[in-house]
Structure formats: structure tokens, C-alpha cells
Structure 1
Amino acid sequence: MQDDLDKLAVYCNPKNKTWVFSAVCSHLGRSVGWNNAEKSWDCPCHGSRFDCYGKMISR
């Protein structure tokens, strides 16, 4: 999902609560992608991973 200015990451949990945050990795500025198998947002550039709520879980 992308609006006019920012790239957004959107996660909806099983209880239909939605979280929206920046999809830009805090390290190199690349857009993260959703990893459905691990339920994480992963940076394709250097492998940092963020949980479904946007918290970094590995660098």
C-alpha cells in the first residue's frame, strides 16, 4: 500500500485490529516486504526483520 508521500506497511491481526506504520527500513531506507511464512516484515537489502507490529526482531 502506498499513499502520495510514504510507503506504508499494514497488518491486520486475527481479531481485525489494524496497524499501519512506515514500510521503510530504518537502516538503509529500503522498503520491507511481508514474509507470510514467518509473519514478519523483512528488508531485502540486508536481512533486518521486524515483527508484524513493526518492532525490530533481528538485524
Structure 2
Amino acid sequence: MKDLQIGIKDGHKGVIDGHIEMFDVHISIKDVQTGRKARQKGMKAVQIVRIQWIYGKERCTDRNE
């Protein structure tokens, strides 16, 4: 699995059907494909299975650690 850290400047909370809608902070997302909500602030990236699509303007850093 890969660690994926996502920082999105503007937007709101919500992970729906494996889709990330826009976050205003660096967040940790796990099991995104299940639609779990992850909006904790200031957390390190966690292992995820899959991200299908990211809406809005974002910076994606793909890490293998």
C-alpha cells in the first residue's frame, strides 16, 4: 500500500463513495473506497487502498515509506 498525503487549500469536509470533495487542511484518509469520513486535522498520512478521484485544486504527494 502507499501513503498518500493530500493538502487542499479551499473547500469543505466529506468523503463520499471513494471521492474526496475538497479539504482545507492536510488530512489522513483510510479506506476511502468505503466512504468513511476522515477530516482530522494535522495528522500524518495513513495507508489507503484507493482514491478514485479528487475534486478541485489539490496537491498530491505519493509516498512509499
Question: What is the TM-score of this pair, normalised by structure 1?
Answer: 0.26
More helix by share: 2
More strand by share: 1
Larger of the two Rg values belongs to structure: 1
Question: What is the TM-score of this pair, normalised by structure 2?
Answer: 0.25
